[in-house]
Structure 1
Amino acid sequence: MSSRTTYALGGVALLVIVLIVVLVVRWNSDHTLKVQGDGYGPVHDPAVSALLDSDGAIVLGKPNAAKTIDVYEDPMCPNCGSLEHLYGQQIAQKIDEGKLAVRYRLVNFLDPKSAGKDYSTRAVAANECVADAGDGPAYAKFHTALFTAKQPSEDGGDLSNDQLAAIAKDAGASTEAQQCITKGQRVDSARNHAQAAMAAVKAAVGQVRTPTVVDGTTEIDVNDAGWVGKIAP
C-alpha cells in the first residue's frame, strides 16, 4: 500500500472521528437541558381561565394577558412531552403573572401510532371537555399530566377514556367534564378541530410539525433555552 493511500485513509478515519465527536457533543447538549422554572408546577392562580374557542383552540390565561402565543401539539408526540417537561412550569408562571397566555392548537396526525389508532383524537376531545368548564388551573394540571407523566409511548401506547377521565378527576376537573370524556362526547368535534389545527400550522410554518410555537407570525425556536423569557420578560 502506498504512503499516499495510507495518508488518505488516515484522513478519512480522522474525519469520521471528528464527526462522531460532534454528534456526541450535540446529543449530550440536547439531553442536558435544564428544566426551566423547576418546582413551580402547573398554573395555580384561580384568576386564570380556560376558554374553548369555536375552532377548538384552547386559550389558557388571564383576560388581560400581555401576549398570546400559539402552541401546536399532538398528545402522542414525545417532543411535545419534552417541551412541556422543560418549559411547562416556566410558561405556567408567566401565565399566572399575566405576562403570557397560550392558545393550544391540538392535532391528531399521530393517531396511527397508538394502539387503538385514535388516541390523539380522543385526547384532544378530553382536553376540550376539561377546558370547556373554564377552570384554568384544572385544565393546566390535566394538560401537563397528559404530556408528561401520563403520556403514552408511540407505537403501541394508549389510554382509555376511563383512564383519561381519571386523570381529569385528579386534576380537579368537574364531574361533568369527566363524564364528557368517559362518554366520548366531543370526539367528533375534536377530530374536526384537529384537522383545522393541522391546516393552521401548515399555513404558519409550511408543514405539519409538532411541537410548533408561533408568536404572531413568527415561529419560535424552542431549542433556545431562553425562549420563554425572551417573549414574556
Structure 2
Amino acid sequence: MSFDGPRDDRPTKNQRREAARLKARQLREDQKKKERRNRVLLQGGIIVVSLAIVTIVVLAITSSIHPAGPGPKNMASDGILIGAGMEPVSTPALQPKATPVASKTDETGTVASIRIYLDYLCPYCGQFEKTNGEQIKQWVTSGAATVEIHPISLLTSKSAGTQYSLRAANAAACVANYSPDDFYAFNQELFKDQPEEGSAGLDDSQIKKLVKTAGVTTDVSKINDCIDDLTFKSWVLDATDRALTGPLPNASIPSVTGTPTVLVNGKQYLGSLDDPKEFASFVLQAAGETYSTSTATPTPKPTAAS
C-alpha cells in the first residue's frame, strides 16, 4: 500500500496572471458596453430635448405671427380718404401683398388735398391733431379740402410691451372697415386723452370704450371682435413698411421718416405743430400754387382759423 503526498490545487502564478488578464478584459468590455449604452441614451435624450425646444420655439413664433389677410375696406391707399361733407370714399379691401391704389386727388388745386401719416402714440401727432383737427374738419365739411389719414405703427416698442401703437392702428382700421362714417370722430378720440410715449397705453377694453364715445353704432360687436383679434395686424405692419420704404404717391418726399408726416397737395408741411394759423397759411399757399397752374373755376378755399 502506498500513500501519495498532499496535493497542491492552488493555481500557479501563470494561471493567476492569465485569470487576472481575462477578468480585466471582461471589465473593459463591460465598461465599453456601459459607455456605449450611456452614449446612446444621452444622444437620445439630447434629441428629445432638442425636439422639445424646437417645438416650443416654433409654437412661440407661429403664435406671434398673425396670418396675412386682406386689409380693411375703404383703405385701399393704406389710408382713408374723407371728402366733402365728411363723406369717406369707399374702396375694396387691399389684398395681402397687393400694391396700394393711390387716391385720386384734385389736381386743379381748387380743393386742398391734406394727407396725414400718424402714430396714435406719437405726442407730436397728438399736438398736431389737437391744434388742427377741428379746422381740417371744417374745411372738409365745406368742400374746401379733403383729408386722407394713414395710421401707421412706428412706436410699437415704446409702450411697455403692450404694442399700443400697433393695437390702436388696428382699431382705427377696424372702424374704417365697419363704420367708415365714424372714422374721423374715432381718430380724434384716440388723441383726446392720448397716452404718453413709453407708457402701457390703453388696453383693448379702453379702446373699445372710445369706439362707443366716438358715436359708433354700426357693427359695434364686429369692431370689438376685430380689436380683440388684431384682425388687421398684418396690414398695419405692411402699411407701415410701405410708408417707410416708399415711394409715396403724389408727394414731394420719397418716404415717411417720422410722424406726423403732413402733405398738402403733395408738399410736406414742416411748420409749427401748435399754431393753426401757420398750418392754414401753408394750406392756402399750397392750394394757390397748384391753382395758379390751372384754369379751373374756383371753389371754397380753406381759411385761416380765427
- Contact (CA 8 Å) 2:243, 2:256: kept in 1 or not? no
- Alignment partner of 1:57 is 2:102: no
Output the CA distance in 1 between the equivalents of 2:244 and 2:81. Answer: 17
Aligned pair count reads 182
- Alignment partner of 1:167 is 2:195: no
State the match for 2:114 in structure 1: 69
**In the TM superposition, what is the alpha-carbon distance from 1:141 to its structure 2 partner?**
1.4
Output the CA distance in 2 between the equivalents of 1:169 and 1:107. Answer: 22
Which of the numbers 222, 236, 245 marks the counterpart of 1:190? 236
Unmatched tracts of structure 2, length 5 or more: 1-71, 90-104, 288-300
- Alignment partner of 1:227 is 2:279: yes
Structure 1 pair 200–117 and aligned structure 2 pair: CA distance change class (3 A): farther
Output the CA distance in 2 between the equivalents of 1:207 and 1:177. Answer: 28
**In the TM superposition, what is the alpha-carbon distance from 1:117 to its structure 2 partner?**
4.7
Which of the numbers 146, 163, 167 marks the counterpart of 2:190? 146
- Contact (CA 8 Å) 2:246, 2:256: kept in 1 or not? no
| Matched AA of 2:188 | T
Output the CA distance in 2 between the equivalents of 1:200 and 1:228. Answer: 27
Unmatched tracts of structure 1, length 5 or more: 1-49
**In the TM superposition, what is the alpha-carbon distance from 1:134 to its structure 2 partner?**
4.5
Deviates more, 1:159-168 or 1:214-223: 214-223
Which of the numbers 137, 147, 151 marks the counterpart of 1:102? 147
- Contact (CA 8 Å) 1:107, 1:124: kept in 2 or not? yes
Structure 1 pair 191–70 and aligned structure 2 pair: CA distance change class (3 A): same
| Matched AA of 2:227 | I
**In the TM superposition, what is the alpha-carbon distance from 1:115 to its structure 2 partner?**
1.9
Q: How does 1:1-233 map to 2 (within 5 A)?
A: 52-62=74-84, 66-136=111-181, 138-149=182-193, 151-173=194-216, 174=218, 175=220, 176-200=222-246, 204=253, 208-223=257-272, 225-228=277-280, 230=284, 231=287, 232-233=301-302
TM-score (norm 2): 0.53
**In the TM superposition, what is the alpha-carbon distance from 1:158 to its structure 2 partner?**
1.3
Give the % identical residues. 27
TM-score (norm 1): 0.69
Q: Deviations over 1:91-130 (max 9, x none)?
A: 1111111111111122211111112252111111111110
- Higher Cα Rg: structure 1 or 2? 2
Q: Deviations over 1:161-180 (max 9, x none)?
A: 22211211221223122331
